Amino acid sequence: MNHQKEVLAFGVSLFNSYFTEDRITRLLQHVAISGSSIYLVIADLPVAHNLRAIGKNDSYIKGKIRHHGNNMINRCRRAVERSGVEATIMTWEAIASSVVYRDGVLRFHKLYDEDAKFRLEARKVTSDVLFNKLQVVADEQQIDVAVSFLLEELAFLWWGDEILGKDIFAYAYHTEMKILSDLIVGTYNIEARPSISHRVISVE
């Protein structure tokens, strides 16, 4: 019998119209039979880097994240209740308290500085996010600031098993996160993490 503890973590993005209450409810119902511990992970605090990159001040950023973050938490709570599925709602504040996570952030910044192929892809991903989420055609300086969002996100995804105290960690999103897929297959110069996987799970 397999007694390994597995977590299925759904990324839930602020400012993304995909994450309606109905869709979150259906996503939970879709994976209910997996046997994994289900987490809804709200990437709220890292959004600050994107907003700072486009010139927003700290007061605006704090208010924006609090407002949209609270709305998403409440939306997820209603979806969990409607779905009847046991799930944990996690904000970035809980993740940021992990020593493993904080060390992971430093390691991804080091990878960004030392691996030219990873740095190029990270900057492309960041540019795409700023355009698709905030309708900004980013310059190099804006990408310099905003790329920290991605590096912080990857630190959680790459060591999610250790951060959450599980044996196996699967990250689920409604579209492929290619840079994570590339990390998993060994494209970049970072330690292998065979306990980490990435799944594309989507509902209409």
> Over 80: is that where the pLDDT of 93 sits?
yes
Tell me the pTM.
Answer: 0.92
Residue 3 confidence (pLDDT): 59
Look-up: residue for tokens 């602020």? Answer: 14
State whether the Cα torsion 176-178-179-181 is positive or negative. Answer: positive
> Over 70: is that where the pLDDT of 189 sits?
yes
> Over 70: is that where the pLDDT of 36 sits?
yes
Q: What is the largest CA-CA distance in the chain?
A: 54
Of the listed ranges 14-28, 45-59, 129-143, 181-195, the one predicted with least confidence: 129-143
pLDDT 10s digits, 124-144 = 999 999 998 888 898 999 999
Of the listed ranges 104-118, 123-137, 138-152, 157-171, the one predicted with least confidence: 123-137
Q: Parse the chain into domains and list their residue ranges.
A: 6-200
> 8 φ, ψ to 5°?
-110, 110
Residue 1 confidence (pLDDT): 42
pLDDT 10s digits, 3-12 = 578 899 999 9
Quote the CA–CA distance of 49 and 109 in Å, as a whole number.
14
> Over 70: is that where the pLDDT of 2 sits?
no
Q: What angle do CA 115, 119, 125 make, to 5 degrees?
A: 145
CATH class of the domain defined by 6-200: alpha beta
> Over 80: is that where the pLDDT of 177 sits?
yes
Percent of the chain with pLDDT over 70: 98
CB 154 within 8 A of CB 71: no
Q: Kindly state the average pLDDT of the residues 71-79.
A: 97
Quote the CA–CA distance of 79 and 98 in Å, as a whole number.
27
Neighbours of 55 (CB within 10 A): 10
> Over 80: is that where the pLDDT of 34 sits?
no
